[in-house]
A and B are shown apart, each in its own frame.
Chain A
Amino acid sequence: MTGGNGSEATRAAVEVRLEDLRRTYGTTTALDGLTLTLSPGELVALLGPSGCGKTTALRLLAGLEEANGGRVIIAGKDVTNVPANRRDIGMVFQAYSLFPHMTASQNVEFGLQLHRVDQDERRQRAREVLDLVGLAAHANKFAHQMSGGQQQRVALARALAIRPKVLLLDEPLSALDAKVRSRLRDEIRRVQLEVGITTLFVTHDQEEALAIADRVGVMQAGRLEQLGPPTEIYSRPRTPFVAEFVGLSNRMPGEVKFGGVEVRGTQLPLVQKDVPAGPAVALVRPEAVTIAGDGESASGPLVGTVIAVAFLGAVSRVTVDLGDITVLAQLPTSAAADHPAGSRVRLALRPDPVLVETKEATTASA
């Protein structure tokens, strides 16, 4: 990092609180009482399917829409009724949002002009932030002369140039192709850490959310289902929705007893407490399923036939037909090579804590 950016990094980050935010459109409830606190300098990702209310939450925080209830508090100040242009936020949009009639540098300086920064400092800061996103050489290009990834990086620079209190990222990567997406994702995280700004990142892509967020909030139907660090969201999902939305899960019937769940002869610990004994469906991650050995001569509840092997690079995903259900197992590619489609295998379940869906929970969530 260059010395010029020192002032960016040392700026004090602020806390952002959303308190019981509500928003309805006609008869549809987009946001049903969202409460969320972002610690200073933290990057929180809101993750969920489209229509879950994550974008609404971000737009309410930005002031681009009005809440029907609840409060938005930035740095201890209630800004619920403050218009968007006086909230001191920086925002990057899903659609390309650079002003087409201005160069990259003019785009960045636009916000600074509105904040009455004098010309010399404006130039200086525009250079700094364009340097920060690695585009100093493209300062004089127009949007139509840049790639999608470059445009989004300029948009990020433009949002940061005004030194906002909060950075809002509204699916900034979804219009880009896969390779650019993962590179820019890491770039955003690097810049965010360097600047140390409190950031809300909205995405429907779990990989994105898990990769760069300090905490991930999984949303469904206008409510926050679970909020926690990425590892916790992935390995200890608190609700069946989270378990199925984040990562893949095998739905395996079993029976809750002795404080665990028995799945095809294997006893697995539970994530939840106080699950009533009785039949249930366990949600087992593919990486918790291993191939214990050749199943040619063996029989048993976990013996079956490989019906497909999907090569994903370092790992492969093996689909095994157990007769009544099919199960996905994720293995190192070298291990999967021994079990081509058609071969008989015996599976083993690693005793990681699993989430179960009981009859009642299933009907409640349906």
Chain B
Amino acid sequence: MSRARRFRLQVFRIAVFVVMGLFFLVPIGSMFEFSTRGNSATAPRNLDAWLNIVKTPELSEAIIASLELAVITTLAMLVLVLPTMVWVRLRFSGLSRVIEFICLIPLTVPAIALVVGMVPIYRWININVNDSILTLAFAYLILVLPYSYRALDAGLSAIDLKTLSEAARSLGAGWATVMLRVVMPNMSTAILNASLLSVALVLGEYTFANLLAYENLQVAIAYVGLVDAGTSIAVAVASLMFAFVLLLILSYLGRRQAPFAPAAAADYDLAQTVGLSGGVIGRAGR
């Protein structure tokens, strides 16, 4: 590559970086600025809005509930989806199209339609079992299915699942050992991707919670916004920053993994990191 060409490429890179950086940082910066204005035009800059996050019990409860939901949904997704996909690939490869179709359905059904279908079920659960907000995890599990399926599918395609699992079995491994010690370590990037997507989706979810009358993070932000705009914006910035930190952790772990991770998974990782859910939706539509 000639020097002039390398220089032009470098300029192009910096330009893209600056434009995209401004695109993301200006709104977030503005939000932060707004959250420190105080309640009247004359009030000095302060962090009252941020302190209110902790002082408003409904808000901190909603944050904790959303975090709990994110963890439960992600774990449930991994426990349910990963072994199923491995099993289907090894034993019923003819079924893989069916499973893929089922997993992608939630993507095509609008959230509002899903919720309307779920209302009677949730009413029954609330009356007969429990009315905890954590029951939302069932609904969220369906919501994250298409995204996690795509991420895990890419990871599974990148390894020779059949040979690796047969080799492990011939060495004396039962199915649990095959999953925990052979399959999962070799698709850790894909698992991280799927988990991050699921956490991000759950933390950003509004429709389900609102229509099923639960107060999760986004619903709480909306309510607080009605009475105290500063605090609601502070929470929004905080949740954005949280997602941002998660992304950084992911790309750090992904890079550290790179020497062992198959190339395809690494590429996928990059695509994921660049365009979080947009990338996945684009893929799913293919």
Q: Chain A residues in contact with chain B, CB under 8 A?
A: 62, 64, 83-86, 89-91, 93, 95-97, 99-101, 110-111, 114-115, 142, 144, 155, 158-159, 162, 168
Contacts and interface: CB of A to CB of B under 8 A. Distances in A.
B160 A114 contact: no
B177 A97 contact: no
Q: Which of A93, A96, A155, A168 has the most CB of B within 10 A?
A: A93
B177 A114 contact: yes
B170 A84 contact: yes
Interface string B173-211: 110010001100110000000000000000000000000
Given A95-B163, A100-B159, A90 B170 contact: yes
A114 B166 contact: no
Interface string B132-148: 00000000000000000
A142 B170 contact: no
Given A99-B182, A100-B159, A114-B173, A91 B166 contact: yes
A68 to B, nearest CB: 17
B170 A159 contact: yes
Interface string B245-278: 0000000000000011010000000000000000
Contact of B259 (A62, A142, A162): A142
Given A84-B169, A111-B172, 5 more contacts: A90-B170, A91-B167, A110-B173, A158-B167, A159-B171
B185 A89 contact: no
B172 A115 contact: yes
Given A85-B174, A101-B186, A142-B260, A110 B168 contact: yes
Contacts of A90: 170-171
Contacts of A115: 172
A86 B172 contact: yes
B170 A91 contact: yes
Contacts of A168: 170
B260 A100 contact: yes
A296 to B, nearest CB: 60
A162 B166 contact: no
Contacts of A97: 160, 163-164, 166-167
B237 to A, nearest CB: 38
B15 to A, nearest CB: 36
A300 B71 CA distance: 90
Contacts of B167: 91, 93, 97, 99, 155, 158
A95 B171 CA distance: 16
A5 B168 CA distance: 24
Nearest to A115: B172
Contacts of A110: 168, 171, 173, 181
A64 B168 CA distance: 11
A29 B144 CA distance: 43
B170 A101 contact: no
12 contacts: A64-B166, A64-B170, A84-B169, A85-B172, A93-B163, A97-B163, A97-B166, A97-B167, A114-B171, A115-B172, A142-B259, A159-B171
Nearest to B166: A64
A111 B171 contact: yes
B272 to A, nearest CB: 20
Contacts of A83: 169
